[in-house]
């Protein structure tokens, strides 16, 4: 009987050790997934800015829209498309922040960037016409925490270059 009890005890210890090992592996995997998600969002933003930096016509459209000039035709389409793509990256980041993947510091930096971007005159027209393309939660976040916030004073805003 004692030998059987010893076997059960050793088996129980093995199960506990296995659970500890699996918990550590799961934690490492979760950290790797979170780091990769943050990296992907950063790469998406870099791609958006690289497109703007490498495409003079698009940069001129952004400057024109930011200055309050009314865009027509293809220029408006390009501005709306660029802005929507940028918002989709930001909305993805918003969802990742809500799920705990992004830390507060990373999210705060992205939000400050979007406050600056959305303060440009041309964005207001886009937002009125296209905010229904994003989720209701994201619309509410944008209206409350981004669009209604004044940009930091003394910085060049998009279009002020």
> For residue 70, what pLDDT band results from cuts at 50, 70 and 90?
confident
The pLDDT of residue 12 is above 90: no
Number of helices (H), then strands (E), in the chain: 6, 0
% of the chain at pLDDT higher than 70: 88
> For residue 161, what pLDDT band results from cuts at 50, 70 and 90?
very low
At residue 39, the pLDDT reads: 78
Angstrom distance (rounded) from CA 42 to CA 45: 5
> For residue 116, what pLDDT band results from cuts at 50, 70 and 90?
confident
Give the long-range contacts of residues 127-131, CB within 8 A, separation 24 or more. 129/80, 130/80, 130/83, 130/84
The pLDDT of residue 60 is above 70: yes
34-50 per-position pLDDT tens digit: 667 777 878 888 898 89
């Amino acid at each position: 009987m004692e030998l059987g009890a010893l076997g059960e005890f050793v088996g129980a210890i093995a199960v506990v050790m296995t659970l500890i090992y699996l918990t550590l592996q799961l934690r490492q995997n979760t950290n790797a997934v979170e780091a990769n998600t943050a990296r992907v969002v950063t790469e998406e933003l870099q791609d958006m800015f690289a497109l703007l930096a490498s495409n003079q016509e698009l940069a001129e459209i952004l400057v024109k829209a930011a200055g309050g000039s009314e865009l027509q035709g293809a220029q408006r389409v390009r501005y709306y498309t660029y802005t929507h793509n940028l918002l989709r990256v930001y909305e993805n980041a918003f969802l990742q922040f809500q799920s705990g993947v992004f830390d507060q510091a990373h999210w705060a930096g992205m939000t400050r960037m979007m406050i600056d971007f959305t303060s440009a005159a041309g964005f207001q027209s886009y937002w009125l016409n296209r905010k229904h393309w994003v989720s209701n939660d994201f619309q509410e976040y944008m209206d409350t925490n981004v669009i209604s916030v004044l940009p930091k004073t003394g910085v060049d805003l998009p279009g002020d270059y």
